[in-house]
Amino acid sequence: MNIKPLFDRIVIEPMDAPEKTGSGLFLPSSAQEKPQLARVIAVGPGGLVDGKEVTMQIKVGDIVLYNKYAGSDFKLDEKEVTVLKQSDVLAIVEK
């Protein structure tokens, strides 16, 4: 299924949280925090949002750091995705 976000929205796929701590302890999924790093899988066109022109700074494939409580979570083709506004992204991570 394809998804096409509107306006200044983006769709991200959270990256897996580490299952093991730095000291070697394994964490059950119930003890893991929601990851804040994600890969962008779809980007809206931008445009006029709340009376202001929005230019999209994020592109598909970017790895982003986003606000922990931002967006709405959905299941898309058996994958967990989050739809959020571009302004909820804190940074683009470059490797």
- Whole-model pTM: value is 0.79
**Per the structure, how many domains does the chain have?**
1
In a domain, residue 2? The reply is no
Task: Return the minimum-mean-pLDDT range out of 27-41, 49-63, 75-89.
Answer: 27-41
Residue 33 has pLDDT above 80, yes or no: no
Residue 21 has pLDDT above 70, yes or no: no
How far apart (Å, rounded) are the C-alpha atoms in residues 20 and 13?
A: 21
The boundaries of the domain holding residue 53 are: 9-17+31-89
Instruction: Report the pLDDT averaged over residues 79-84.
Output: 94
Residue 56 CB neighbours (<10 A): 15
CATH of the domain at 43: 2.30.33.40
Residue 29 has pLDDT above 60, yes or no: no
- Give the mean pLDDT of the chain: 86
In a domain, residue 80? The reply is yes
In a domain, residue 63? The reply is yes
